[in-house]
Amino acid sequence: MYKGQRKRYVRIGKHGWLLGLLGFNGLQYFKTHDPAMLFYFSFFSFFSFYFNGKLAAEMPDERYYMNAQKARSITMWVPAACLFIIGMGSMFAFGTREFMIIVSAAGWAATFLTYSITFYYLDKYC
């Protein structure tokens, strides 16, 4: 790791979460009914930078890596559930294109947020 690399990550982590506000652009779908607008909900995943930025200042140790592994194992169920919902939804009448896009975008954002929040919780309280 280079000397300035960690400082750069902390700087991005402190303010990178503001890109998550672009997720509210997805609400334009209800005005325009353009399914492409639903992909903006994926930007909510940038809110995970808030928790990553808080943890980036700490020096990684053995407990840090164990907590990261636990958080990854918990987070694994989020995309698996989203893929199951998309697969099952395609067989029923409510499996429209908009439904698939919104579940994909929500699953993308939920995966990153679940990992960050779980990792932050495990590092601070366990």
Per-residue pLDDT of the chain (126 residues; tens, 9 = 90+): 555 555 544 556 567 888 999 999 999 999 999 999 999 999 999 999 888 878 877 778 899 899 999 999 999 999 999 999 999 998 988 788 999 999 999 999 999 999 999 999 999 998
Q: Quick one: pLDDT at residue 54?
A: 80
Side-chain half-sphere CA neighbours of 104 within 13 A: 15
The total number of structural domains that make up the chain = 1
Q: Is 48 exposed, middle or buried (0-12, 13-18, 19+ CB in 10 A)?
A: buried
C-alpha angle 75-76-80 in degrees, rounded to nearest 5:
120
Is 9 exposed, middle or buried (CB count within 10 Å of its CB: 0-12, 13-18, 19+)? middle
Q: Tell me the residue range of the domain where 24 lies.
A: 5-125
